[in-house]
């Protein structure tokens, strides 16, 4: 321990600071790498949850020993990828997550003790609403639904029984059409006793009334429902007939319908003078006679009747005839009374957008071409026939051919993620990979390489000089007086002396206590014969050993002692 402290003191404060900082950085890197490696990959378990359901799911997972985490909004729960299946089975056994509003499971954990009739009715209504909401969500295109039931009770001593009603709010991945709305209305009406289909109102999440009670004419709900039905029916009809020509997905149709909201009564009466019929004819004939006295005479002649006037002298008689004819004619006429109830179509407007034609050129490229005016006119005539076009009503229609927006146009390709985003999303995987590569490199450098070096040295596979090289240490002959190559295992000053083969040329550097000695001269061809060495030893090796003994007498004595100990042991 004292030697370690002395060695540290000999390094100096600067080297100690650098060594400490390097060690601290290595420790932090190791801990950071281990934390990245041991951190699992989290995958989404459930999304679009309300915070209450998410909290129950997290508590259940923690109780089961499964790690989990949520997003900042508390609407998504993620678990490690390897625990996904186990987490789903664990939550399914607990009935989580709840599929919207709870259904008949409200009665699973409740007993009849302490439950009054009011609570039973409330729970029954909640269960029916929850089950209906779940059933509605199974319809294609419906993502979420809420059902509200109104089931009034019959008042005591009342002769009339109130009728129930229902309201349904749906939210879908696309616009909810009349087909889905009628299916929802039929489902709810069939599931609730004494509920008429007309009493079910279907609304969209955007606040649009899709279906409503049509009993009250002129109400806003009924008008919206009728308008939605007409627009949806016309859009489907026009799209279907256009798709047969331009192809599916190449036509966009928008229909706008204006409906009357007031009740109108129009009375019209017309007369046709050409249509005369004699109704009655009246003929009158009148004859009058009178008698007057002669001029200048006064008497009773004026009072004498006409029949006796001739007998009276001095009188003059006059008579006149009058004929009158009256003809009464009946002139033809027409009286019309028109009643317009709320909800009648007042005006329709249709806008049609049609994609152009894509022609494939001989070189394989695609060229866009607008549709010609003649084709557009023919398509417009088809649309007019499909919608029931009425110019007198003020209907309008517009058919335009324009290129649909797509990512192959010159406006630009889809926006891709940048390198920084990709790097930030995969930083954990990248760090784990780098740490694994570093760990493998460290194992190869500090464990595999030394082991291979020792194995090759033991098998005599250490590579020598290319020309006139020396054999491996195990194959080299020992120095005079030794049976094996000299060595001092366990000593700090280890000297390895390699002897050349007989007749071989070359030299090798001899390392001693970290100091490189001069190489053995290659010109020493003279060989010295020893009884213990087959073939002799070059004189240059003998001279080198002599120099070593003169320079390091103590180490040389230790080597000789070890040789003697090995010889006595054998």
The string of pLDDT tens digits covering residues 112-150 is: 666 778 888 888 888 899 889 989 988 888 888 899 999
pLDDT tens-digit readout, 152-202: 888 888 888 888 999 999 988 777 888 888 899 999 999 999 899 989 999
Domain spanning 228-262+342-402: which CATH class is it, in words?
A: alpha beta
- Residue 13, pLDDT > 50, answer yes
Residue with the bigger pLDDT between 60 and 521: it is 60
pLDDT at 325: 84
Q: What is the mean pLDDT of residues 193-219?
A: 80
Domain boundaries, the chain: 1-38, 42-94, 116-154+162-213, 228-262+342-402
For residue 485, pLDDT over 60 is answered with: no
Band of residue 471 on the pLDDT scale cut at 50, 70, 90: very low
- Assign domain 116-154+162-213 to its CATH architecture: 2-Layer Sandwich (3.30)
For the residues 84-107, what does the mean pLDDT come to? 77
Q: How many degrees, rounded to 5, is the angle at CA 518 between CA 514 and CA 524?
A: 140
For residue 466, pLDDT over 70 is answered with no
- pTM for the full predicted model: 0.45
- Mean pLDDT of the 379-389 span: 92
Q: 66-75, pLDDT tens digit by residue?
A: 988 888 878 8
The phi, psi pair for 294, rounded to 5°, reads -65, 155
Q: What is the mean pLDDT of the chain?
A: 75
Which of 197-206, 481-490, 558-567 shows the lowest mean pLDDT across its residues?
481-490
552 Cβ contact list (under 8 Å, min separation 6): 493, 512, 513
∠ CA 101-106-109, nearest 5°, is 145
My answer on whether omega of the bond before 97 falls inside 30° of 0, hence cis, is yes
Domain 42-94 has CATH 3.60.21.10: no
Mean pLDDT, residues 209-229: 73
Give the per-residue pLDDT at 134.
87
Domain 42-94 identical in fold to domain 116-154+162-213:
no
Residues 189 and 167 sit within 8 Å (Cβ to Cβ)? no
Residue 496: band (very low, low, confident or very high) from pLDDT cuts 50, 70, 90: very low
Residue 425 has pLDDT above 60, yes or no: yes
* Reduced DSSP (H G I as helix, E B as strand, rest coil) percent helix, strand, coil of the chain, to 5: 40, 25, 35
Query: What is the distance in angstroms between the CA of the first residue and the CA of the last residue of the chain?
Result: 38
């Amino acid at each position: 321990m004292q030697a370690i402290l002395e060695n540290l003191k000999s390094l100096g404060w600067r080297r100690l600071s650098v060594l400490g900082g390097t060690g601290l950085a290595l420790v932090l890197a190791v801990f950071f790498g281990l934390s990245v490696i041991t951190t699992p990959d989290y995958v989404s378990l459930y999304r679009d949850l309300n915070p209450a359901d998410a909290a129950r799911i997290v508590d259940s997972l923690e109780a089961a020993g499964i790690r989990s985490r949520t997003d900042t909004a508390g609407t998504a729960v993620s678990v490690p990828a390897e625990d996904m299946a186990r987490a789903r089975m664990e939550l399914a056994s607990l009935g989580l997550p709840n599929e919207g509003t709870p259904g008949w499971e409200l009665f699973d954990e409740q007993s009849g003790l302490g439950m009054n009739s009011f609570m039973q009715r409330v729970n029954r209504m909640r269960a029916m609403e929850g089950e209906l909401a779940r059933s509605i969500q199974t319809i294609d295109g419906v993502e979420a639904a809420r059902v509200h039931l109104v089931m009034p009770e019959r008042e005591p001593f009342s002769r009339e029984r109130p009728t129930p009603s229902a309201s349904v709010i749906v939210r879908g991945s696309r616009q909810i059409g009349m087909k889905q709305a009628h299916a929802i209305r039929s489902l709810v009406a069939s599931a609730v006793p004494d509920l008429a289909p007309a009493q079910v109102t279907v609304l969209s999440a955007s606040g649009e009334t899709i279906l409503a009670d049509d009993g009250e004419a002129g109400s806003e709900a009924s008008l919206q429902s009728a308008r939605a039905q007409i627009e949806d029916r016309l859009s489907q009809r026009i799209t279907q007939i256009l798709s047969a020509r331009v192809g599916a997905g190449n036509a966009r149709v928008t229909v706008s319908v204006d409906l009357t909201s007031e009740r109108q009564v129009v009375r019209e009466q017309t007369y046709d003078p050409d249509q005369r019929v004699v109704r009655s004819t009246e003929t009158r004939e009148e004859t009058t006679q009178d008698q007057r006295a002669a001029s200048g005479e006064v008497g009773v002649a004026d009072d004498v009747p006409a029949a006796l006037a001739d007998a009276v002298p001095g009188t003059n008689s006059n008579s006149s005839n009058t004929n009158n004819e009256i003809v009464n004619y009946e002139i033809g006429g027409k009286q019309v009374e028109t009643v317009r109830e709320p909800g009648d179509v007042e005006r329709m407007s249709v806008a049609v957008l049609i994609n152009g034609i894509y022609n494939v050129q001989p070189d394989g490229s695609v060229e866009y071409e607008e549709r010609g005016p003649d084709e557009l006119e023919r398509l417009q005539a088809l649309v007019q026939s499909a919608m029931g076009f009425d110019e007198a009503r003020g209907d309008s229609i517009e058919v335009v051919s324009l290129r649909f927006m797509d990512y192959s146009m010159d406006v630009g390709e889809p926006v891709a993620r940048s390198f920084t985003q990709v790097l930030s999303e995969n930083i954990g995987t990248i760090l784990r990979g780098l740490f694994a590569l570093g760990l493998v490199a460290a194992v190869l450098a500090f464990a595999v390489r030394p082991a291979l070096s020792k194995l090759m040295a033991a098998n005599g596979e250490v590579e020598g000089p290319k020309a006139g090289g020396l054999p491996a240490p195990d194959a080299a002959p020992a120095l005079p007086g030794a049976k094996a190559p000299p060595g001092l295992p366990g000593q700090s000053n280890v000297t390895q002396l390699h002897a050349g083969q007989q007749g071989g040329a070359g030299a090798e550097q001899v390392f001693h206590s970290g100091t490189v000695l001069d190489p053995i001269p290659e010109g020493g061809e003279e060989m010295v014969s020893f009884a213990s060495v087959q073939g002799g030893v070059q004189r240059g090796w003998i001279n080198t050993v002599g120099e070593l003994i003169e320079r390091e007498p103590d180490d040389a004595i230790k080597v000789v002692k070890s040789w003697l100990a090995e010889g006595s042991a054998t």
